[in-house]
Amino acid sequence: MAATLANVHILPDFDGGWFVCRAGRTLTHHKTQADAMQAGRRIARRHRVELVTWGIDGRIRSKDSYGNEGPARDTEH
């Protein structure tokens, strides 16, 4: 049975800071978005999933895949 892939999400904490979450669980909390993205990137690479970064407006700012990609390369990063 294949394991369920749960992407890593970088979400704003409206009281300040940024969360790194996966599968509905908060993994870490950081003061800056850059620190959260660095931590999230490590987790996404380890689990070979997407890193999804959300903005404070509730919209997705970026997606970066560290999983099984097809022949088309990620053009965002």
Backbone angles phi, psi at 51, to 5 degrees: -105, 120
Residue 3 binned pLDDT confidence (cut-offs 50, 70, 90): very low
Question: Which of 56, 14, 17, 13 has its CA nearest to residue 34?
Answer: 17
| SS3 at position 68 | coil
19-55 pLDDT, tens digit per residue, is 999 999 999 999 999 999 999 999 999 999 999 999 9
Interatomic CA distance for residues 5 and 70, integer angstroms: 16
Backbone angles phi, psi at 70, to 5 degrees: -75, -170
- The pTM score is 0.82
